[in-house]
Structure 1
Amino acid sequence: MAHIAVEPDISLSNPTLVEGLPGVGLVGKIAADHLVETLDMTYYGAVHCDGLPRVAVYHGDSSELKPPVRLYADEERDLLVLQSDVPVSPQNATDFASCITGWLTDNDVTPLFLSGLPTEKDDDVPAVYGIATGDGDALLDEAGIVPPVESGLVSGPTGALLYEAGRHELTGVGLIVEADAQFPDPEAARAILENGVKPLVDVEVNTEELVDQAEDIREARERLAQRMQQAEEGESTQAQPLRMFQ
């Protein structure tokens, strides 16, 4: 049976939830993981929604198993983070979104949904835009977050979550950041934390580590481009294992 099992000894009052499902540039995943680690958030509960793979997750230096999709809490900040180690398939997105939205509504949780907008990368700070469900427009106005400059849609499980939130008139915000379509993009994750999550939740998060990750990934991309060029010049077999960088 679909449900979310939470720890009874953690007390929250009208919390905000940051959703961190894998997507374009892994923006949501990187941002959520960074919040959990940097704020030293407490494990809050397991998400047992239909559509999630029945797998167990373990982390290095620990024998403890955890569900693939979990909630973490910061009681002092009234903050929740939805952390996921697995993607939600498009076929299962509707059931998953219905399960999550029902719990959000029942517990007076305001969600922040994170999504990457595939964009050609340049040296500028990735732009962050906001869309809203329910009374979320007021939250965006107060935080000074502008709407997207072009029409578009949010697909996948995050799109399903936004759809369900809108259908139930749940107050929520969707944050959209310009992100790399092929590679993990910690630079975009940093932008969405600094220019989206921070003004909405009023939480200070050190993002310097994400800057270092962005530089490492940029260097890996340059090495990949060089080796791909070599492959095109006659060493095509060398390009095959480079999928690890994508």
Structure 2
Amino acid sequence: MARISVLDDDVSLEEPTLVEGFPGVGLVGKIATDHMIEAHEMDHYANVHCDGLPRVAVYREDNPAVTTPVRLYVDTERDLVALRSDVPVKPGAATEVAGCLESWFAETATFPVFLSGLGREKGEAPPALYGLATGDGGDRLDRVEVEDPPEAGLVSGPTGAMLAEALERGRDAVGLVVESDPQFPDPEAARILIREGIDPIAGTETDTDGLVDQAEEIREAKQEFAERMQRATEESSQAEPLKMFQ
């Protein structure tokens, strides 16, 4: 049964901003979301039980308790929610997962910020960041001066399905697309996501120096995960150019 199982009913949220961290190209969304959870010492708020998510149990070092692979974390002071995912979502399940989460967004008046990587070979210039929007989400992009995409494209995977769900329901939402390493975890791109996109939109201040300083450590820690994602790239959330004749 699809549901969001809240662990603490005393937690009060007003109109929270949610940062989505499903894994995708460069693992940028996951790295950015995981970093924000740690940097702001966010509390484990809810377990996500959605049809289509793998039926697996996750455990942590020095802790015997198991949890769901997709969880919500909260910072009530900043009115911030983060979705942390330890698993990819299969293409056939993306629509079910998006519908499950959309119901919770509607109940809690949540403003979602969806994150995606656009595969680009690394160059000397910092990764570029582009904004997408549904409903009145474009107003927030205008206020924080996130650039429009320079070419047509599409967003796939669970992130794309959630954007499509928001579009269908007329929900205000933002999508952030950052140029990312197409083969390896990209903490530099995740840092751009936070510094130039998430923080301005959510009104937060996140120390991101550690993302670059510890880039090699993050790369090693995520390497096995990235290799699994490369073997099944169709399961990833990603943005890509849309080729067509005009």
* Structure (1 or 2) with the greater strand fraction: 2
* Further displaced range: 133-142 or 208-217: 208-217
Partner of 2:51: 50
Amino acid at match of 2:144: A
Structure 1 residues 147, 210: CA separation in 2 closer, same or farther (over 3 Å shift)?
A: same
User: Which protein has greater RCO, CA pairs closer than 8 Å, 6+ apart?
Assistant: 2
Asked if 1:31 corresponds to 2:32, the answer is yes
Partner of 2:180: 179
Mapping of residues 80-95 of structure 1, within 5 Å: 80-95=81-96
The structural deviation recorded for 1:103 is: 1.1
Q: C-alpha distance in 2, partners of 1:200/1:83?
A: 19
Q: C-alpha distance in 2, partners of 1:53/1:216?
A: 27
Partner of 1:5: 5
Structure 1 residues 201, 217: CA separation in 2 closer, same or farther (over 3 Å shift)?
A: closer
The structural deviation recorded for 1:215 is: 5.0
Amino acid at match of 1:75: T
Partner of 1:237: none
> What TM-score does the superposition give when structure 2 sets the normalisation length?
0.87
Secondary structure in 1 matching 2:62: coil
Partner of 1:235: none
State the number of aligned residues: 222
Mapping of residues 137-156 of structure 1, within 5 Å: 137-156=138-157
Q: C-alpha distance in 2, partners of 1:138/1:82?
A: 23
Q: C-alpha distance in 1, partners of 2:218/2:2?
A: 38
Partner of 2:132: 131
The structural deviation recorded for 1:125 is: 1.2
Q: C-alpha distance in 2, partners of 1:82/1:211?
A: 22
Secondary structure in 1 matching 2:214: helix
* Further displaced range: 99-108 or 74-83: 99-108
Q: C-alpha distance in 1, partners of 2:109/2:54?
A: 27
Partner of 2:223: none
Partner of 1:97: 98
The structural deviation recorded for 1:216 is: 5.6
Amino acid at match of 2:5: A
Q: C-alpha distance in 2, partners of 1:207/1:93?
A: 30
Q: C-alpha distance in 2, partners of 1:210/1:124?
A: 18
Secondary structure in 2 matching 1:27: helix
The structural deviation recorded for 1:214 is: 2.8
Query: Deviation string for 1:27-61 (max 9, x for gaps)?
Result: 01101100111100011101000000111111112
* Further displaced range: 179-188 or 54-63: 54-63
- Percent identity, aligned pairs only? 56
Secondary structure in 1 matching 2:14: coil
Instruction: Name the larger-Rg structure.
Output: 1
Query: Deviation string for 1:95-147 (max 9, x for gaps)?
Result: 00011111101210000000000001112111111000110010100111111
Query: Deviation string for 1:70-99 (max 9, x for gaps)?
Result: 000000000000000001111100100011
Q: Gapped runs of 5+ residues in structure 1?
A: 221-242
Structure 1 residues 202, 90: CA separation in 2 closer, same or farther (over 3 Å shift)?
A: same
The structural deviation recorded for 1:24 is: 0.2
> What TM-score does the superposition give when structure 1 sets the normalisation length?
0.87
* Further displaced range: 41-50 or 61-70: 61-70
Secondary structure in 2 matching 1:117: strand
Q: Gapped runs of 5+ residues in structure 2?
A: 221-226, 231-246
